[in-house]
Amino acid sequence: MIQPIVKFPAPVLAQETPRVEKFDEELEKLVDNMFESMYAAEGVGLAAPQIGRSLRLAVIDVTVGKNPEARLVLANPEITHFEGEQREEEGCLSLPGFRGHVLRPSFVTVRAQNAKGEEWEMRGEGLLARAFCHEIDHLYGVLFINHLSMLKRDLIRRRVRKLQKAGEW
Ligand code: NI
């Protein structure tokens, strides 16, 4: 089921999430809904708080549905290693229309559990490394705009407020 994406500045996006403890049918359903909602919004990653669920859970597919093997479920993810630097433009489904350059590592190794609770570990580079960092940030209440200069962040905040007032957000 496609869920509406929660937009900034919803409080749920600023909260640290509790760990996933129960790997049951309900969790699998939530994961399916997250993939469906992410594909509908044409995103490469989605964290549970973005559909209003405060839970340490995210999904990523950098092929946007083209390769089923690229579907990653990140329950209780942790970055175990990172190296290098990349500075690319980044956006977020919770901040539609806004982008900014964010410094991230070029290589990121993540350890997480899948929807069945099985542990996996993977090294990602480029866009995948960036997606790992972006989605894990979400699980700690951090958005990409938190990595921008205060000036740029305030500009985005003001534009969002204007859009809200105009009923366009
Ligand atoms: Ni995001």
| Catalytically annotated residue among 26, 69, 85, 135 | 135
pLDDT digits (tens, 9 = 90+) for 64-97: 989 999 999 999 999 999 999 999 999 999 999 9
What is the per-residue pLDDT for 75? 98
pLDDT in tens, 31-53: 999 999 999 999 999 999 999 99
CA 49 to ligand 1 center in whole angstroms: 10
Ion ligand 1: residue ranges with CB closer than 5 A: 92
The residues pairing with 124 across neighbouring beta strands, listed in sequence order, are 108
Q: What is the pLDDT of residues 54-65, one digit of tens each?
A: 999 999 999 998
Any idea where the domains of the chain sit in the sequence? 11-165
Q: Own/partner pairs for 42-47, CB < 8 Å, 24+ apart?
A: 43/93, 44/127, 44/131, 45/131, 45/134, 45/135, 46/5, 46/93, 46/135, 47/135, 47/138, 47/139
58 in Cβ contact with 148 (< 8 Å): no
Q: Which CATH number fits domain 11-165: 1.10.3980.10, 3.90.45.10, 2.40.160.40, 3.40.50.1010?
A: 3.90.45.10
Closest Cα to residue 145, out of 129, 160, 132?
160
pTM, to two decimals = 0.97
Farthest CA pair distance, the chain? 46
Kindly state the percentage of the chain with pLDDT values over 70: 100
Catalytic residue flag (residue 36): no
CA of 152 to the centre of ligand 1 (A): 17
| Cβ–Cβ under 8 Å, residues 15 and 54 | yes
Distance 145 CA to ligand 1 centre (A): 10
pLDDT number for residue 101: 97
For residue 143, the CA-to-ligand 1 centroid distance in Å is 6
Supply angle C-alpha 140, 146, 133, rounded to 5.
55
pLDDT of 23 reads 98
